[in-house]
Structure 1
Amino acid sequence: MINIQLLNKDFESRVRLGIMSILMVRDWVEFKELKELLDITDGNLASHAGALEKNQYLQVRKEFVGKKPRTTYAVTQLGRKSFQDHLAALEKLLGQP
């Protein structure tokens, strides 16, 4: 029996899936680089990253480099575990006959 309930609704968006996929293999990634890698707008990235941060899947570091603001993101332990569980559920779903 296929249990679709095991999939994490927080990762259903392609943007959130992309953010998490990048952060799973990189320690800290700057806002600008994430935006370019995902080919999305500032507002789109900010919205999805904010939702992931709200659910404690991301940690955000804001600082100034000279006079320019710099925002970087990293996945939290909860985010890593939740995303791994989501991927495992996807693999199980795809493995069903």
Structure 2
Amino acid sequence: LAARAAACLRAYQNVEVINGDGCRDIGEPADVIIVHAGFSHPHPLWLASLNPRGRLLVPLTQRDREGAALKITRKGKGFEAEAVQQIRIFP
């Protein structure tokens, strides 16, 4: 998935696709973080790694794998969250 994304985005010099464990290391602060797995809450590392006005898109799910995709934006010293769409995660 990361190789395909990198190939599709190669023309954009301001985009870098990183394949790794995003719960262990984000690298540099980011403008956008997109999570592709269901979680019960946003990982503290993701929130800490957002630049000012940076956005995190994360699917938040419950045990039944249903939930919502949330867009979380860093606003000053806090965050603003917005439900984008209802989702269901399949293993």
TM range (shorter): under 0.3
Q: Which has the higher contact order (CA 8 A, sep 6+)?
A: 1
What is the TM-score normalised by the length of structure 1? 0.24
Kindly indicate which of the two structures has a greater share of residues assigned to helix.
Answer: 1
